[in-house]
Structure 1
Amino acid sequence: MKSNKINIVFALPNLLPGGAERVFSYIAQNIDSKKFNATLLIVGYSKDASYDIKNIDLVFLEKSRVKDGLFALYKYIRKHKPDILVSAIGHLNLVVAYMSIFFPKTKFIAREVTVLSLDTAFFKTKKFNPLAFISENRFNYFDKIICQSQDMLDDIKNSYRIKANKMVVINNPITDGFKLKQTQSNSNQIQFITVGRLSKEKGYERILKLLSKLDFPFHYTIIGDGIEKEHIFSLIENYSLKDKITHIEFTKEVSKYLKKSDFFLQGSYFEGFPNCLIESCAVGTPVIAFKAPGGTKEIIENGVNGYLVDSEDEYLEKLMDSHKFNPIDVRESVFKKFNKDLIIHEYEDLFINILK
């Protein structure tokens, strides 16, 4: 007897540490099993998996790169014929977009993770490329595009000339394990923290510069790894901050470190939808962030769960601010908008409606 459940495949390049990987796999595991048969399909290696996946099928194609997994991915879709395939992260979305031509009975959904035009401009990756049209045209082949923030939707609509009704904004959920801290830090040092990839757009340079100007005791914890690691550590040496900083490349206990902190510091020049901010607020730790394109301004409410600032001078002023935030209010500010039940329901509605 044929099941009435919707067969849905969630595809990722890998399960290495990263916000997109963690949130995407979380969504796959938490949609209603009475309505959906969910599979998490990973192009990369099982040995690299950084997240425990439970209660759904998990398939690894065991390929080093997306382009090496083209044939295996095609074979998988042809064999299993899912009702819906949802892919995430740009290079996999590009491949899946054109592969969708061969599977007209499957609905294809892309989930993007950043404000694309700003990412291109920031890293100066836009140069003459005879295949540029193929990349820029990819969104036309999807049945729906999930954007994590309104800025992301507006950017895709304007940069790629995609109709707004083909896109939907669904924010990221607060994942399990981020519970309200019981007490505020009793340390005689102010405890700052940043969780995120060590890359240029995350703005570690300006955070470190501002921290070097503080004249009171503090400690700064950085959780993350990336290509800017060597440069960031050279700045730490130059600013004489080595004794005030702890670096952790990866941990499954992010919540524990957030709870011990007084403020989360974000220096990003742009964001898609920064999971780390809602997670920090979810445990009751407020955020100091620069106003930046992306989802940050959808999360931070000035004076309620942190501060949004326009300049480095204003950021420094907030670093020295003595205002005490109520952890309960900080948590409620994000929980009312981004709790998992609300966000998962939005995903389920999308999947059901796209098949009608």
Structure 2
Amino acid sequence: MEKMRIAFILANLRGGGVERMTLNLSEEFVHRGYEVDLLVAEAEGEYKDLVPAGVNLIDLKKPRLISCIPDIRKYMSEQKPDAFISAKDYINLTVIFAKLLARSKTNLIVSTRVNISRQLEVLNSRNFKVVAKLVKHFYRFADHVVGVSKGVADDLYKITGIDRKKIHVVYNPVVTEGLLAKAEEEVEHPWFHEEVPVVVTVGRFDKAKDYPTLLNAFRVLQDSKKARLMLVGDGPERSHLESLVEEYKLQDVVDFIGFQSNPYPFMKKADLFVLSSAYEGFGNVVAEALAVGTPVVSTDCPSGPGEILDRGKYGTLVRVGDYIGLSKAIKETLENPLPKEKLLERSLFFTIKNSADSYERLILDKGKE
């Protein structure tokens, strides 16, 4: 019997949550016996060497994803994949346009990774407004629409008005054997050998992550609790964040670690993981922290962290932008952390198996739900 063919697509292989989750999912489907193609507009970036064995990497060699529409159309017409899975709204729209032009019967599954309405509130960008309008009019042409949390799924329904039965909640494929193995790797930093507790955050330095609130919380924390903060990541807001560290006189307690293709040892060795985001779609790093047994404090941003932490049962939630509340939660959690066993138990909800099972049901049941 001929193998079923599944296609995934990315703009590039630079470090990011969507890229990491796509590689996780593609590897799992190879293990399940599928023929898996990964189309990439420009196959460059930190994750290029991490493309799983058995995945057919197709480099479209285009600097912009929108330029790939003819290539995607040709791929659909010639290869006729049984299913095509995409993530990120602008990528989803590109694939929808290609499918319409190809008049393809491929089962198209598009996944939204952010709360679009909240994203528009925070960034108020013309580009995002255009994308939101296109989502409203064109997502109806996908066979299945996935939200990575209940909050995202509800927001998609509000924006698009498409049949609610066509919208599905599928949590990201976060917890894998590879993640757990990588978390065991050695990482050296002098702070891990000292008695002062270490707080870690991991993410892109952009406005969505709202790191100024975290730094402000750490400024307040210094009056009542000794602690140090590691920021793992990089991005356009770095220079602004570095200036805030100087302004708040936090140079001795804050360290910028830079981008790490394997951030998990930092997360595992930390005493606490903190997410300060203004908005998320899911919040992969929250589930990753649980998977390595590290306590979590997070903003209750739309959408994802509140669901992962089960409304505070598995970690403290604070209001978005509330640096006083965040400082208090950090102090209290460092002094009274939840048992590691409880955190690990919760992480099992976000395994690669659970996510792949959900996608597989959509792959095998085109348009029937």
| One-letter code aligned to 1:317 | K
Residue 139 of structure 1: how far off its partner (Å) = 0.4
Task: Please give the TM-score of this superposition, normalised by the length of structure 2.
Answer: 0.88
Deviations 1:83-140 (A, max 9, x none): 1111111211111112211233211111111011111221112489899754531201
Task: Tell me, in whole angstroms, the C-alpha distance in 2 between the residues paired with 1:47 and 1:289.
Answer: 29
Cα gap change, 1:245 to 1:293, in 2 (>3 Å): same
Contact 2:6 2:81 in 1 (8 A): yes
Which residue in the other structure is 1:20 paired with?
Answer: 18
SS in 2 for 1:320: helix
The counterpart of 1:329, out of the listed 333, 342, 345, is: 342
Task: Tell me, in whole angstroms, the C-alpha distance in 2 between the residues paired with 1:42 and 1:130.
Answer: 23
SS in 2 for 1:231: helix
SS in 2 for 1:308: strand
Which residue in the other structure is 2:189 paired with?
Answer: none
Which residue in the other structure is 2:41 paired with?
Answer: 43
Cα gap change, 1:51 to 1:299, in 2 (>3 Å): farther
- Are positions 1:318 and 2:329 aligned together? yes
- Are positions 1:165 and 2:165 aligned together? yes
Contact 1:271 1:293 in 2 (8 A): yes
Task: Tell me, in whole angstroms, the C-alpha distance in 2 between the residues paired with 1:259 and 1:93.
Answer: 34
Which residue in the other structure is 1:71 paired with?
Answer: 70
| One-letter code aligned to 1:296 | P
Give 1:271-310 correspondences, 5 Å limit: 271-301=280-310, 304-310=313-319
Task: Tell me, in whole angstroms, the C-alpha distance in 1 between the residues paired with 2:164 and 2:90.
Answer: 22
Aligned length: 351
Deviations 1:142-191 (A, max 9, x none): 0111110001011010012122111110001213223688xxx7731110
Cα gap change, 1:97 to 1:329, in 2 (>3 Å): same
Which residue in the other structure is 1:236 paired with?
Answer: 245
Contact 2:120 2:129 in 1 (8 A): no
Which residue in the other structure is 1:98 paired with?
Answer: 97
Contact 1:192 1:262 in 2 (8 A): yes
- Are positions 1:209 and 2:216 aligned together? yes
Residue 33 of structure 1: how far off its partner (Å) = 4.3
| One-letter code aligned to 2:180 | F
Which residue in the other structure is 1:351 paired with?
Answer: 363
In structure 1, the gaps of 5 or more residues are none
Which residue in the other structure is 1:156 paired with?
Answer: 156
Which residue in the other structure is 1:123 paired with?
Answer: 123
Task: Tell me, in whole angstroms, the C-alpha distance in 2 between the residues paired with 1:172 and 1:339.
Answer: 8
Task: Tell me, in whole angstroms, the C-alpha distance in 2 between the residues paired with 1:129 and 1:200.
Answer: 17
Contact 1:43 1:73 in 2 (8 A): no
Task: Please give the TM-score of this superposition, normalised by the length of structure 1.
Answer: 0.91
- Are positions 1:178 and 2:180 aligned together? yes
Cα gap change, 1:289 to 1:129, in 2 (>3 Å): closer
Cα gap change, 1:108 to 1:329, in 2 (>3 Å): same
Deviations 1:196-220 (A, max 9, x none): 1111121101110010112332211
Contact 2:318 2:325 in 1 (8 A): yes
Deviations 1:282-306 (A, max 9, x none): 1110111111111111111466532
SS in 2 for 1:97: helix
SS in 1 for 2:220: coil
Contact 1:7 1:36 in 2 (8 A): yes
Which residue in the other structure is 1:141 paired with?
Answer: 141
Cα gap change, 1:338 to 1:131, in 2 (>3 Å): closer
Cα gap change, 1:131 to 1:214, in 2 (>3 Å): closer
Following TM superposition, where does structure 1 have runs of at least 4 consecutive aligned residues deviating by more than 6 angstroms? 127-132
The structure in which a higher percent of residues are helix is: 2
Task: Tell me, in whole angstroms, the C-alpha distance in 1 between the residues paired with 2:72 and 2:262.
Answer: 33
Task: Tell me, in whole angstroms, the C-alpha distance in 1 between the residues paired with 2:263 and 2:133.
Answer: 40
Which residue in the other structure is 1:342 paired with?
Answer: 354
| One-letter code aligned to 2:302 | P
Superposition RMSD in Å: 2.4
Contact 1:277 1:287 in 2 (8 A): yes
Task: Tell me, in whole angstroms, the C-alpha distance in 2 between the residues paired with 1:205 and 1:129.
Answer: 25
Task: Tell me, in whole angstroms, the C-alpha distance in 2 between the residues paired with 1:4 and 1:250.
Answer: 41
Deviations 1:248-290 (A, max 9, x none): 2221221110111011111111110111111111111011111
The counterpart of 2:278, out of the listed 258, 269, 272, is: 269
Task: Tell me, in whole angstroms, the C-alpha distance in 2 between the residues paired with 1:245 and 1:256.
Answer: 18
Task: Tell me, in whole angstroms, the C-alpha distance in 2 between the residues paired with 1:245 and 1:130.
Answer: 38
